C-alpha cells in the first residue's frame, strides 16, 4: 500500500505529496511513465506499467511513437486505477543538456495533465533509473519544475501533484530535496 511521507500546500487549492510506493497502484487521474523516445515499454517503470495495466498501453503507444526527449504523450491506463498514462521522455545521462531536457519532460507532463483538465497526477523519478540521471539532481529538478509550473498556471484543474518513489535510495534523495525546499518536520505526515 502506498504511503504519504510528506505533503505541503502550494496554493490553498493545490497539494504536493511525496509518496513511497508503487506508481501502478496510485488512485489518481493520471500517472506519469518514464518512457523512451520509441515508447517501447520493456523495462523499469515503463515495463511494470504495461505488465500491470495491460497490452493496450503498449498498443496505443505504438500508434503515437516516436516522442522526442523532453516531450510527453498520453494513452489510456488499461487496467490501472488511473485513467491516463502520460509518457514523459526524459534524458539519458550523458546525452547533453540533461537538466533542461528533464525540466522539459516534467513541464510537458504537467501540461498534458492540465490540458486533460484532471485533478490529480503522480510522477516517478523520471530518468533516475536505467537512464542514469543522478537521483539527488532529479529530485531537485522535479520539485522545482512542478512548483514553477503550478505558479504559472493558476487556472489549472490540478489539485494534487504526487511524486511516487519505489526504492529507498530514490525516496531518500527526494526527502532530502523536499526538506531543503519546504522544511522538514512541519510538512511531514505518515499516512497510508
Beta-carbon neighbour count of residue 183 at 10 Å?
A: 12
Which pLDDT tens digit goes with each residue over 78-123?
A: 999 999 999 999 999 999 999 999 999 999 999 999 999 999 999 9
What are the extents of the domains in the chain?
3-181
What pTM, to 2 d.p., does this model score? 0.94
Q: What average pLDDT does the chain have?
A: 94
Per-residue pLDDT of the chain (192 residues; tens, 9 = 90+): 899 999 999 989 999 999 999 999 999 999 999 999 999 998 888 999 999 999 999 999 999 999 999 999 999 999 999 999 999 999 999 999 999 999 999 999 999 999 999 999 999 999 999 999 999 999 999 999 999 999 999 999 999 999 999 999 999 999 999 999 998 744 444 333
Q: Which three cell numbers stand for residue 7?
A: 505533503
Residue 86's pLDDT is 98
Distance CA 4, CA 99 (A): 27
Distance CA 162, CA 26 (A): 9
Q: H helices of 67-134, where? A: 98-116
Residue 145's pLDDT is 98
Distance CA 41, CA 133 (A): 18
Residue 49's pLDDT is 96
Q: Which residues contact 31 (CB under 8 A, 6 or more apart)?
A: 23, 24, 49, 77, 80, 82, 84, 85, 86, 121, 122, 123, 124, 164
Residue 20's pLDDT is 97
H or E element that contains 86? strand 84-89
3-181: what fold? 3.40.220
Amino acid at each position: 500500500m502506498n504511503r504519504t511521507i510528506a505533503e505541503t500546500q502550494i496554493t490553498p487549492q493545490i497539494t504536493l505529496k511525496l509518496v513511497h510506493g508503487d506508481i501502478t497502484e496510485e488512485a489518481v487521474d493520471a500517472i506519469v511513465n518514464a518512457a523512451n523516445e520509441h515508447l517501447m515499454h520493456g523495462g523499469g517503470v515503463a515495463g511494470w506499467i504495461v505488465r500491470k495495466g495491460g497490452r493496450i498501453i503498449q498498443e496505443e503507444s505504438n500508434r503515437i511513437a516516436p516522442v522526442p526527449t523532453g516531450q510527453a504523450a498520453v494513452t489510456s491506463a488499461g487496467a490501472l486505477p488511473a485513467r491516463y498514462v502520460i509518457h514523459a521522455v526524459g534524458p539519458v545521462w550523458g546525452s547533453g543538456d540533461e537538466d533542461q531536457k528533464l525540466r522539459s519532460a516534467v513541464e510537458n507532463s504537467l501540461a498534458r495533465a492540465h490540458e486533460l483538465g484532471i485533478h490529480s497526477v503522480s510522477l516517478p523519478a523520471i530518468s533516475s533509473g536505467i537512464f542514469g540521471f543522478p537521483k539527488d539532481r532529479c529530485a531537485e529538478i522535479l520539485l522545482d519544475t512542478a512548483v514553477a509550473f503550478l505558479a504559472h498556471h493558476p487556472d489549472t484543474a490540478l489539485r494534487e501533484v504526487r511524486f511516487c518513489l519505489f526504492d529507498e535510495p530514490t525516496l531518500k534523495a527526494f526527502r532530502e530535496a523536499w526538506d531543503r525546499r519546504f522544511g522538514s518536520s512541519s510538512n511531514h505526515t505518515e499516512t497510508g
